[in-house]
Amino acid sequence: MVYPKIPLAQSIIEIFRHKGIQHIVISPGSRNAPLTIGFAQHPDFKCYSIADERSAAFFALGLAQQLCKPVAVVCTSGSAVLNYYPAVAEAFYSQIPLVVVSADRPSSKIDIGDGQTIRQEGVLALHTVFNANLTEVASDENDRLINEAINCAVDQKGPVHINAPFEEPLYETVAELTVAVQVASTAVTDFFVPESLAEFGSIWNHSQKKLILVGVNMPNSLDQEIVNQLAKDPSVVVMIETTSNLHHPAIIDTIDTLITPFTEEENRAFKPDILITFGGMVVSKRIKAFLRKYPPQHHWHIDSLRAYDTFGCLSHHFKVSPSTWFPAFFQCTQTVTSNYRDYVLAIRANRREKTATYLASIPFCDFKVFEQVLPSLPRYSQLQISNSSAIRYAQLFSIDSTIAVFCNRGTSGIDGSTSTAIGAAVGSNKQTTLITGDISFLYDSNALWNAYIPQNFTIILLNNGGGGIFRILPGHQETPIFTTFFETAHCFTAQHLAAMYGFEYFTASTQSTLTDALSEIFKNAQRPRLLEIFTPTLENDRHLLTFFKSLV
């Protein structure tokens, strides 16, 4: 075996190994050489080399998102670690265990004029669940901190930062370990303290309108039996987002289409008595605005760790997983006579008809692209969606229940969707499609500078000539200020990037060319594919905004 000679580097590698961290994403540098040498030559680790730290961290985030296990990123000293920050913030709000390891100079060398040196201690602290600032000499205290960092990443589902100072020489190796590490196990529990559920059951049993709203949620994390039970209750409306990965015919999966045209009277009829939420971030701005304006009397959030008071009416946080909570809660409930669910389902049926009629009436545009692309995705594949209008368009359609859907909604950034999608493709081993906008794609084009992209990975790039979302948002005026500073209009295409990074490149700019392209891009591939779809910049927003009016 080859180990770095520096004992602290050995301790980090050994504790990671004992804790079952298997995936290490390394960015190049000298200060982290002891870790790179050790991780890369150890058979228990799968190491990835990605030069751009921002992309590396999002790639690791995608891996961890799929594996549901901590994944480490390792970088050199200086500004390198700062480039992890966007992914760290995303991991923090999306509850993903990302383990950041930054190599540093010993503390005596900080702020004395040494090169590639910044104040690294706690530099990510506002968005991490633990920070371990290690000392140069291997010690029990260092071991304790490394253990605690990994335990926190798992128990608190979030990013952690381990800052490790190394002094030169950095490249020396030994054949035997010179340290014996201490390993502390985690204490993950999902036990449920039955905090007078009967009291909540009684509120439930006296309420006729209950709304269940689900945000970002891992596929298969909730037993289908629970979903079925909720869906058959006439006093319950279940509303989910595309990223909820829950499915049932009686579930409302197109929230905005349902609620946007509501009249004042319908708003009041829809206002729930009880709101139960679980899962991560909610995309729909309209449901947030609705619930803030028409707050339910009771809002219970179910999550073993966190509860955000998103609607200003949170009344109880059940600190347990939904899959544990619901079966226990069902024991205390009974079916209540109500027409709440059927009232909503009747409106939904009407909306579906109007949506189909409207889509049949409009020409090729972003909205039409989603109508065509989503049903053509391979069954049992994975869909990653970038932020901006892509995720919002996707929310207007039902997606096949065998397709797992993800989007970086923790911070809704456009800075790492492609890198995350590639990491997730590697982590899940599933055929993966990324649907992205042009600005998001160009922003994270270094994602393609990656030697691990599976050959069946596909990017569907909607090129509408800039940030189309800003045309949809209120405040849009056709001025030079708008096109330059908001839309950031451009004439680039992805053709040369595709060629440079070895992607097979397809284009479409009409319904029929898109049909042709879609029949090709999911076939067995020898290399990753990129389909660039050109849509009419000046018309997309009108077709979307008119859609909501057509539903009335």
Ligand X SMILES: Cc1ncc(C[n+]2csc(CCOP(=O)(O)OP(=O)(O)O)c2C)c(N)n1
Question: Which CB, 82 or 336, lies closer to ligand X?
Answer: 82
Complex with ligand X: residue 348 or 471, whichever CB lies closer: 471
Shortest gap between Cβ of 61 and ligand X (angstroms)? 14
CA distance 179 to 7: 6
Q: How far is the CB of 36 from ligand X (least distance, A)?
A: 29
CB atoms within 10 A of CB 144: 14
User: What are the residues whose beta carbons fall under 8 Å from the beta carbon of 476, sequence distance 6 or more?
Assistant: 470, 482, 486, 541
C-beta of 344 vs 459, nearer to ligand X = 459
Q: Nearest distance from residue 157's CB to ligand X, in Å?
A: 23
* 402 vs 98: CA distance, rounded Å: 27
C-beta of 54 vs 247, nearer to ligand X? 54
Helices vs. strands in the chain: H and E counts, helices first: 21, 19
Radius of gyration of the chain (CA): 25
- For the bound state, the minimum distance from the C-beta of residue 243 to ligand X, rounded and expressed in Å, comes to 16
Q: How far is the CB of 390 from ligand X (least distance, A)?
A: 5
Least distance (Å) between residue 412 CB and ligand X: 5
Which residues are bridge partners to 275 per DSSP?
Answer: 211, 299
| Closer of 276 and 462 to ligand X (Cβ) | 462
- One-letter amino acid for residue 386 of the chain: S
74/447 with CB nearer ligand X: 447
| Residue 62 C-beta: closest distance to ligand X, Å | 16
Of all residues in this chain, which one has the CB nearest to ligand X in the complex? 437
Residue 437, SS3 per DSSP: strand
Euclidean distance between CA atoms 413 and 407, whole angstroms: 10
3-class secondary structure, 462:
strand
* Helix ranges restricted to H, 158-263: 197-205, 224-231, 255-259
Closest Cα partner for 464 from 389, 391, 528?
Answer: 389
Q: Which is nearer to ligand X, 315 or 445 (by Cβ)? A: 445
The CA distance from 111 to 246, in Å, is 52
The burial class, CB within 10 Å (0-12 / 13-18 / 19+), for 265 is: exposed
Tokens encoding 231? 């869906």
Instruction: Return residues touching ligand X (CB under 6 A).
Output: 387-390, 412-415, 437-440, 464, 467-469
